[in-house]
Each structure stands twice: as C-alpha cells, then as structure tokens.
Amino acid sequence: MFMNFRILSISGVFFLFCFHAAFAQDSRLLITGLVSRLENGEILPDAVVKIKGTATIAQTGKNGHYAILTEQKTNITVEFIHYGCESQRIMITPELLAKSKNDTLRLDVQLKYKPQEFSVTEIRPGADTVIGNWRFFIEDYMFVDDRYVLLTWEKSLKEAKVMLVSESAGVISQQNIPVEAKELYRDYQGFINVLCKDAVYRVKVRGDNLSLAEMPYEDFVDRMLPCVDTLDNLILFSNYSRDYPAFSYFTYNPADTTVRKIRYIVDEPLMGMYQYEFDYLKPKDRLYARKMEMYTGVDKRIIAATMTGFSKSQFYRPIYAPMFVAHDTICVFDHYVDKLYRFDSQCRKLDSSSIDYHHPKNWRDWGRKLVQDEVTDDVYTIYEKGSFFYLKKIDLKTGKIAGSFKISNNYIKHIRLRDGFVYYIHRPYESVQKKFLYRERIELTKE
C-alpha cells in the first residue's frame, strides 16, 4: 500500500531501463553512477541524490550506486549529500549532456570527508539538557530505542534535516528534507514520519543509517492518520474531523475485514449550534443546501454549517476525547459526558469512571491535552498556569488525579513521556540559545 516511494533504490534501475523508450519520448534523462569517499574510495550507501529546486530525490544502495530521473535539459543542478562528507553540486552543462548515451548519463562522484561537531550534555537529576547544539534548532523529536530522531533546522524549516542522535555518540546519521517540514509523526504501526505541507516522508532507521522514503500523500492522510493504535490483531481508528462536533471510534480486523464501533462522541450543545446554521440561512441558501443534499447525499445541515464557515468561528471549539491502549485495555476519555470508559480487546465494555479534571476552577488552565508514557502506559493531563506546565497523573481505574508535577522550565513545547521522565523542547525567554531538548524525572506530589 505504501511502496510507491519516490526514492529510487538500485533495485529499481532495471525497471527504469525496461521502460527507457517511453521516458525518451518525454525528453527524460536517466542519471546513474557511483558515490564514494574521495580519500579512500569507500562506497557510500544511503547518500542522498536530488535535483535542486524540485522534490525529486534518490538514494544510493548498499553498493553505492544510484539512479535518478529528470528532464533532459541543461542548467539542472544535481546535489549529492551524505552525513560526514561535504555536499557536492554538479550542473548539467551542454558539454556534460553531450556525453549521455541513449538518454542516460553516467555521473560518478567522490565526496570529501567533513568532521562533525556535536555536543551532548550528560543527564543529571532535575531539569537538564539532553541534546543541544548552537548550530541548529531542534524543532521536534521522537524516541528510537535509546536514541532519538530529531527534526532540526538552521535558518528555516524550508531547509530542515532529520538526524539520528545518541546521547553518547552525538549525531550518527542525517538527511536533508527536500521540502518544507512541519513536524514528526509516529503512526499506529510505530513508524516515524516527517509531515510536510503537501508531502510526507517515512524515516527509515537501519543500524546507524537513517534514510527518507516519500509516501503517497493522499493515501497516508486517508489511511494512516485516522488510525490511533493497535490491540492484538485489531486496528483502532476513528472518523474524526476537526470541523464536525461528533465522531466515533472503531476497531478493524484485517483477518475478516469486520468493523465494530467502540464509542460515539458528541458535544451536544455545540452540535445544536452547528445544526441551527441551516435555520439562519436565507431562503435561497436553504434551497441551495437542500439541492446539494440531494446531489451529494450529505445532510443539508452539515452543508449549511460549511457554507457559513461555522467551524472557523469564535463559537466553535474542536472536539477532544482521546483514546489510549493501556495494559491491553482500551480507555476512552469522553470529556462531554464526564466519563472514562474501559473496553476489552473485543470492544466489550468493562466499566466506567467519572472524571472531572477537565473542569478546573479556571477553565483556561486545562490544556485540552492528554499524554501517555510510552513505556509505563500511564496517562497524564496537562495544565498551564502563567507560562508553566503541570502534569497530573490520571488513575485509570478511578478517573481521579493521583498526583501532580510542575515542569521546571516555562514556554516549552512537544511534551512527551518515557519511562517516568518528561521530555520537551525549550529555549530560555529572550535568550540567544537555540531550541534544546530537555528532560526531567517526574516526581509526583499529592494535591
């Protein structure tokens, strides 16, 4: 389903040659070659080859060879990038293009070694820097065993990089992202992906090598983003839409393609306002909404709310009711009926508990965010008071708050939990420091 990668491995060269005649009709040029080290001739696997100014990229295979397809014209710049080496750019001049045979150009490249400097601070109790460097900002991060995948940039996210980093060894491998990046996202299968505006790249980590593979964007949005988690052989997903005040959670069994509903979530007061938009339309607009209902099958009240832009107004707040899998139990936090529901792997309701942590005295304090520890399965809710963040652990049996922890630094983002520690990105206020990755041990205090 997701094998339509734009990144070409050397195994795909045969395919390209078989259809070479078809490419020639479109004035396409196939560039192939070997990438190696200048100093010792060592072949360089996982080197990135890209056509500058486009989203077309390729990657060298284990034998250092690559193949990339581009337009057959001059003034095209081919860039070769590999961690630990200086990048090299080659412009396709008329003289170089004349050397091509049967619309194929051979370009062998040798890259010069470039020493890398990176500092990692030792972890100590309390708030401390995990990873920080004065040459680049850390925009986002993900855990990979005892290492990290970082999304970094020096000038802007239009020229971002993905790095594989270890606390002891520093930067291990890195790749440039061809287009402007937004954030990292771990899908329900556990893979790390780079989300861009109109593209998505899967981060592949094999040993000490990191590479990128472009995914079919529309397929990824339609088939991967709705999926929340897995339990046994089931895929848990939802039909959530930011612009509609209700959705449902489901399970999907790939073995027999059966779908079962877990829980329906709705914000009743908001839904009432949403549906009233139809009644406030002018007669001609109501007639148009009815015609669109007959033509599309979509409810006229949904069409009316879309016409008025209600979901973009000050009266609309996206619904938030997350689901987590904790110790083989499905936990649904329905904030609109003040209940925590628990289900087994067969979608059978086990029990429920009342919750009230989302109704603090000052409603602005609650951050409308729940996070789960990737190792312990503990779930915390986040509060913000005066630029500082507080983690409050939720007892999954009773729904009550079991303890609170104040994070030392303020103005932080991308809070994630792992094995009793909280990780986050922080840059001191009005400081020239870049964005660093910090962590603290969570030590709960009773409220």
- Enumerate the domain spans of the chain: 10-111, 128-219, 270-312, 356-447
pLDDT at 4 exceeding the cut of 50: no
Q: What is the 3-state secondary structure (H, E, C) of 82-150?
A: CCCECCEEEEECHHHHCCCECCEEECCEEECECCCCCCCCCCCCCCEEEECCCCCEEEEEEEECCEEEE
Average pLDDT (205-231) is 93
State the pairing for strand pair 109-111/28-37: parallel
Query: In this predicted model, what pLDDT tens digit does every residue of 79-108 receive, in sequence order?
Result: 998 877 888 999 988 888 888 888 899 999
The pLDDT tens digits of the residues spanning 175-190 come to 999 999 999 999 999 9
Comparing 48-52, 277-281, 360-364, 385-389, the range with the smallest average pLDDT is 360-364
pLDDT band at 116 (very low <50, low <70, confident <90, very high): low
Which of 63-67, 126-130, 331-335 has the lowest average pLDDT?
126-130
The residue ranking higher by pLDDT, 118 or 405, is 405
- CA–CA dist 392, 175 (Å, integer): 37
- What share of the chain in percent tops pLDDT 70? 91
pTM of the shown model: 0.71
CA-CA distance, 75 to 213, in Å (whole number)? 26
Q: Which of 32, 180, 179, 152 is nearest to 83 (CA)?
A: 152
Between residues 59 and 272, which one has the greater pLDDT?
272
Structure tokens at 95: 């003289």
Percent helix / strand / coil, the chain, rounded to 5: 15, 45, 40
Residue 126 confidence class, pLDDT cut points 50, 70, 90: low
In terms of Cα–Cα distance, which of 135, 133, 98, 99 is closest to 119? 133
- Looking at mean pLDDT, say which of 9-13, 56-60, 123-127, 140-144 comes out highest: 140-144
The DSSP result for 355-369, as a single string, is --TT--SSGGGEEEE
If pLDDT is split at 50, 70 and 90, which confidence band does 127 have?
low
For 383, half-sphere exposure in the C-beta direction (CA atoms, 13 angstrom radius) is 22
- Spatial neighbors of 245 by CB under 8 A, at least 6 apart, are 266, 267, 270, 271, 274, 316, 319
What is the distance between the alpha carbons of residues 222 and 232, in angstroms, rounded to a whole number? 23
- φ, ψ at 177 (rounded to 5°): -95, 125
Query: Per the structure block, which two tokens stand in for 228?
Result: 């929340």
Query: Rounded to 5 degrees, what are φ and ψ at 123?
Result: -75, 130
E-assigned strands of 362-420?
366-372, 379-385, 388-394, 401-406, 412-418
CA distance 28 to 69: 7
- pLDDT reading at 271 higher than 50: yes
Tens of pLDDT, residue by residue over 301-349, are: 999 999 999 999 999 999 999 999 999 999 999 999 999 999 998 889 9
Question: Which pLDDT belongs to residue 117?
Answer: 52
Residues 60, 13: contact at Cβ < 8 Å?
no
Q: Amino acid identity, residue 120?
A: V
Residues in contact with 323: Cβ distance below 8 Å, sequence separation at least 6, in sequence order: 228, 229, 236, 238, 249, 262, 263, 330, 331, 332, 333
pLDDT of the residue at 7 = 40
The CATH T-level fold of domain 10-111 is Immunoglobulin-like (2.60.40)
At 408 the three-state DSSP class reads coil
